[in-house]
Structure 1
């Protein structure tokens, strides 16, 4: 699903951008804070520097968020907040970020699993 969204982004904006990397951070923070809905400001704060690092100058973070909403990746909710289209998307993306953090620092898993809200998101097989 997210590979398809990345391809659509490239077609729309004419640039390659790893949406999963940014969206994973958004989802991770949502789960870590115990709040599914994220403020628009939070997402813009993550997107803007990521776009700059990717040297994408013709697109701003607000355009990307609006595009993500119009493509049903994010859903607008009251008070300038957004959520992912489905709980499973939040869980998948949060797990992607947790795995990335784990590769850098194995102790992150122990720290994270101390928070009981993560237990339901980390069904280890």
Structure 2
């Protein structure tokens, strides 16, 4: 009888614990983004206006997640963009945002933290 109840009990435990873990991870990543200055230009949700109601400075992270879904190189490439910045001549979001390029952020965030943040962002579209 005990073995029969163990599997459903474990399944229920994981079903209840997973959302709590996800919420804690979301909170942790939002805090990291805010303390690193990321939220000055980026929001999570699509449609967040920029300063004075203009186009946002940087793309919404849900849009980034959708755009790079299935791209095996996205984590490494976007982490590099966070650390080194981007070129205004190679803008991936031209016409959609008001910012021309992303400044380098190596002074604001450690590479390991940037990689965790990018990984979280890439998972937003799931």
TM-score (norm 1): 0.35
Q: Where is the helix percentage greater, Structure 1 or Structure 2? A: 1
Larger Rg: 2
TM-score (norm 2): 0.34
